[in-house]
């Protein structure tokens, strides 16, 4: 009996081993095909459109998406500026001539332009609306033009998605400026908005319309409430870049003095390269939502100035007050910073500090660059 069992068992062991191997190979193939499918769906085969492609954030986002394998369509309003200069940021990041990046004209204030371009690319997966008149001070001079671009523009895009392909996911560039004269410290997704400029009033309309298209028509439409984010690619009119450029020129002896407005305003400054990753993550979730994106630290413009000068080896002493305040080079006693009221705004946002706990928990997003690292990066980039 025992001999019979062993001879039966060993006679078939070869078959059993073969069967187990076959099952393992099949399981392996199945697992890998699922992973491949998932990757090609979530990364490599995706197509995104980014508005405002000549801007700071668009350049970093385009680079990020191209690195992930996306095909990217960048759109811009018509310009008479030479393309070789106009797209300097994309060039700086090495993506201007990327084979998966194409560039088209689309003015977001023109609903026909939006509809035509989005219809042409109706197989898009994602649209990131980064186009804007983004300079808060200018919005006081041109409030209705700002409203056209920052308020009606996003609405044109949402409508074009609704008309062509409701499956396209939409990102709207909302802003910490919505919190304005802040009603809570720090600011979260639940903090009430209290805009203090035509820029933020227009952005509030766009924010509400984005939520509205989601709730009314089921669009996957998200708003990122991003706090100030800067980089060496920042426009020269913004205070961070203005300071970085000036301290280097003062050090090199090609500029005497830096003129600023309200140096006691407090901002939560982060690095644009970190923030665009959050935009992408928002559109990869199961449910569309709003997220605050911030570092959680706040500093004055005054602090930014001091640290920027320190980076080039200049230490400064402040003296005087209000419009008569100035900063002197501690060694030479030369005046290196002056207040010029022309840089004041009709209404100021005094303090911003964001709490991005929701983004950390839901998106796994956290900033990687501190404000001090950011200042050093921006100053170093100005040194020729
Ligand atoms: P940016 O550098 O000023 O870029 C904005 C781009 O929008 C510019 O290239 C501009 O074109 C384009 N644009 C203006 N009007 C347009 C129109 N009618 N049609 C098409 N494009 C138009 O701004 P950013 O710093 O990258 O910011 C990106 C977005 O995030 C903006 O919506 C901004 O309001 C928002 N945001 C920025 C921050 C921040 O700290 N950076 C924080 C919160 C929210 P031109 O180059 O021709 O002027
Ligand atoms: O000003 C003060 C100024 O122009 C920062 C945009 O990206 O972030 C940005 O808006 C602070 C303000 O950025 C000067 O009064 C003093 O308090 O660099 P800014 P912003 O207004 O905070 C938000 C989140 C956005 O959404 C906007 O699109 O600095 N300040 N002296 C000065 N500002 C400037 N520009 N120039 C000065 O000489």
Measured on CA atoms in the order 339, 340, 346, 352, is the torsion positive or negative?
Answer: negative
Give the pLDDT of residue 4. Answer: 54
Contact 259, 340 (CB under 8 A): yes
199 is catalytic: yes
Q: How far apart are CA 206 and CA 130, in angstroms?
A: 12
Contact 48, 72 (CB under 8 A): yes
Task: Tell me the pLDDT tens digit for each residue of 9-46.
Answer: 555 555 454 555 344 444 444 444 443 344 334 455 99
Give the pLDDT of residue 122. Answer: 85
Determine which one of 70, 128, 171, 199 is catalytic: 199
Give the pLDDT of residue 271. Answer: 99
Give the pLDDT of residue 204. Answer: 98
Give the pLDDT of residue 165. Answer: 97
Structure tokens at 89: 């940021």
Residues of the chain with pLDDT below 70 are: 1-44
Task: Tell me the pLDDT tens digit for each residue of 97-130.
Answer: 999 999 999 999 999 999 999 999 989 999 999 9
Q: Which atom of ligand 1 is nearest to the CA of 108?
A: 19
Distances (CA, A) of 155 to 94, 132, 159: 32, 13, 6
Look at residue 354 and give its three-state secondary structure. Answer: strand
Give the pLDDT of residue 384. Answer: 82
CB contact set of 268 (below 8 Å; sequence gap of 6+): 176, 227, 228, 294, 295, 296, 297, 298, 352, 353, 354
Task: Tell me the pLDDT tens digit for each residue of 69-94.
Answer: 999 999 999 999 999 899 999 999 99
Ligand 2 centroid, distance to 239 Cα (angstroms): 6
Residue indicated by tokens 């393309």: 83
Q: Which atom of ligand 1 is nearest to the CA of 110?
A: 18
Ligand 2 centroid, distance to 49 Cα (angstroms): 27
Give the pLDDT of residue 1. Answer: 47
Pick the residue whose CA is nearest to atom 38 on ligand 2: 260
Q: Where are the alpha helices (DSSP H) in 40-101?
A: 56-67, 83-86, 88-92
Domains present along the chain, CATH in parentheses: 46-305+337-382 (3.40.50.720)
């Amino acid at each position: 009996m025992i001999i019979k069992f062993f001879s039966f068992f060993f006679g078939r062991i070869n078959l059993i081993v073969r069967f187990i191997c076959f099952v393992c190979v099949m399981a392996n193939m199945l697992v890998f095909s699922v992973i491949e499918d998932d990757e090609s769906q979530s990364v490599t085969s995706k197509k995104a459109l980014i508005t405002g492609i000549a801007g700071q954030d668009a350049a970093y986002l385009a680079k990020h998406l191209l690195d992930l394998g996306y095909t990217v369509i960048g759109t811009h309003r018509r310009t008479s500026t030479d393309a070789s200069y106009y797209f300097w940021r994309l060039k700086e990041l090495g993506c201007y001539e990327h084979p998966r990046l194409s560039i088209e004209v689309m003015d977001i204030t023109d609903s026909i332009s939006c509809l035509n371009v989005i219809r042409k690319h109706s197989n898009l997966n994602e649209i990131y609306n980064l186009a804007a008149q983004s300079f808060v001070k200018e919005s006081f001079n041109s409030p209705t033009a700002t409203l056209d671009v920052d308020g009606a523009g996003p609405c044109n895009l949402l409508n074009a998605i609704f008309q062509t392909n409701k499956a396209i996911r939409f990102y709207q560039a909302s802003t910490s400026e919505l919190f304005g004269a802040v009603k809570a410290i720090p600011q979260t997704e639940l903090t009430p908005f209290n805009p203090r400029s035509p820029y933020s009033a227009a952005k509030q309309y766009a924010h509400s319309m984005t939520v509205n298209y989601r709730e009314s028509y089921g669009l996957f439409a998200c708003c990122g409430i991003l706090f100030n984010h800067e980089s060496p690619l920042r426009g020269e009119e913004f205070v961070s870049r203005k300071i970085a450029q000036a301290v280097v020129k003062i050090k090199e002896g090609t500029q005497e003095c830096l003129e600023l407005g309200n140096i006691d305003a407090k901002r939560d400054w982060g690095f644009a390269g970190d923030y665009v990753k959050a935009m992408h993550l928002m559109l990869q979730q199961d449910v569309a939502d709003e997220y605050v994106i911030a570092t959680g630290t706040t500093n004055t413009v005054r602090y930014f100035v001091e640290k920027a000068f320190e980076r080039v080896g200049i230490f400064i002493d402040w003296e005087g007050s209000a419009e008569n305040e100035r900063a002197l080079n501690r060694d030479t006693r030369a005046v290196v910073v002056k207040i010029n009221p022309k840089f004041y705004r009709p209404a100021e946002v005094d303090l911003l500090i964001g709490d991005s706990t929701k983004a950390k928990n839901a998106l796994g997003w956290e900033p990687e660059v501190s404000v001090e690292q950011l200042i050093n990066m921006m100053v170093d980039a100005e040194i020729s």
